[in-house]
Amino acid sequence: DGGNNWALVETGTTAKLMDVFFADTLHGWALGEEEDNTNLILVSVDGGVNWSIQHTTDYMLTDLFFTDSMTGWVTAWYNTLLHTTDGGVN
């Protein structure tokens, strides 16, 4: 509805969320940081209804962008760039 109404979405984690990006109406990713400084990438394949942890890393993740449901980039501190061509599986 163009942002007129907002609903709380549970991600299943207590991570501080830093960024979210949807490549289409179903495929989305979010970046988060847990209290123990573990950084993670969350994924949703159902439009954000359900989320699961797709990847964890020690890199401090800052931004993400996908060109489609398979190809994406994540930036991190210390001149680090992560790239995926399989939707974030690797």
Read off the pLDDT of residues 26-77 as tens digits, 9 standing for 90 and up. 999 999 999 898 999 999 999 999 999 999 998 899 999 999 999 999 999 8
Altogether, the residues listed in the chain come to a count of: 90
Query: Is the model's pLDDT at 78 over the cut of 90?
Result: no
At residue 1 the predicted structure's pLDDT band, cuts being 50, 70 and 90, is: confident
The C-alpha atoms of residue 83 and residue 65 are separated, in whole angstroms, by 10
Tell me the pTM.
0.90
CB distance 3 to 40 below 8 Å: no
Residue (of 2, 9, 23) closest to 71 by Cα position: 23
What DSSP string describes 39-59? EEEEEESSTTSS-EEEEEESS
